[in-house]
């Protein structure tokens, strides 16, 4: 599909595939009732939940694809992912071995990486 710019020159609209391949930041936190909630703040209303982290992330990916496809077909604006260039996203934490073991065992039961599990816990307290 083509759009017109201010000088009446035709410019190409990015493809649907382009938008589907964008990497959006995700907010993930435990649901007080049970399971987890995840959302993409850059795509208004794009949120979901699941009983496990794996299910929640799968549901969010499906919701993201549907959100983008619907906006694309309606010729609505699709925001680009926000950037957190001033934050590295890296954190080195030393902890007691017993705490590490409990976290590792729980993440294994949840079927997610230890890193993903710790991020979900930290998201719940912010």
Residue length of the chain? 126
Under the banding of pLDDT at 50, 70 and 90, the label for residue 123 is confident
pLDDT confidence tier of residue 70, bands split at 50, 70 and 90: very high
The whole-number pLDDT of residue 76 equals 94
5 and 11 in contact (C-beta within 8 Å)?
yes
According to the model, what pLDDT value does residue 105 have? 95
pLDDT at 46 over 70: yes
**38 backbone dihedrals φ, ψ, rounded to 5°:** -135, 145
Q: What is the pLDDT of residue 82?
A: 87
Q: 25 and 84 in contact (C-beta within 8 Å)?
A: yes
Task: Calculate the CA 13 to chain-centre distance.
Answer: 24
Look-up of token digits 């890193």: 115
- The whole-number pLDDT of residue 64 equals 97
Task: Evaluate whether the domain defined by 2-124 bears CATH number 3.30.70.1380.
Answer: no
DSSP letters of 50-61? ESSHHHHHHHHH
* Nearest of 56, 22, 21, 23 to residue 39 by alpha carbon: 56
């Amino acid at each position: 599909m083509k759009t017109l710019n201010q000088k009446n020159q035709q410019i190409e609209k990015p493809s649907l595939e382009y938008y589907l391949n964008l990497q959006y930041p995700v907010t993930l936190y435990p649901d007080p009732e049970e399971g987890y909630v995840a959302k993409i703040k850059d795509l208004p209303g794009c949120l979901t939940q699941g009983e496990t982290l794996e299910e929640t992330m799968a549901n969010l990916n499906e919701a993201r694809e549907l959100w983008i496809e619907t906006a694309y077909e309606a010729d609505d604006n699709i925001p680009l992912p926000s950037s957190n260039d001033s934050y590295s996203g890296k954190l080195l934490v030393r902890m007691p071995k017993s705490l590490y073991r409990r976290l590792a065992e729980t993440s294994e039961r949840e079927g997610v990486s230890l890193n993903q599990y710790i991020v979900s816990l930290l998201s719940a307290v912010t």
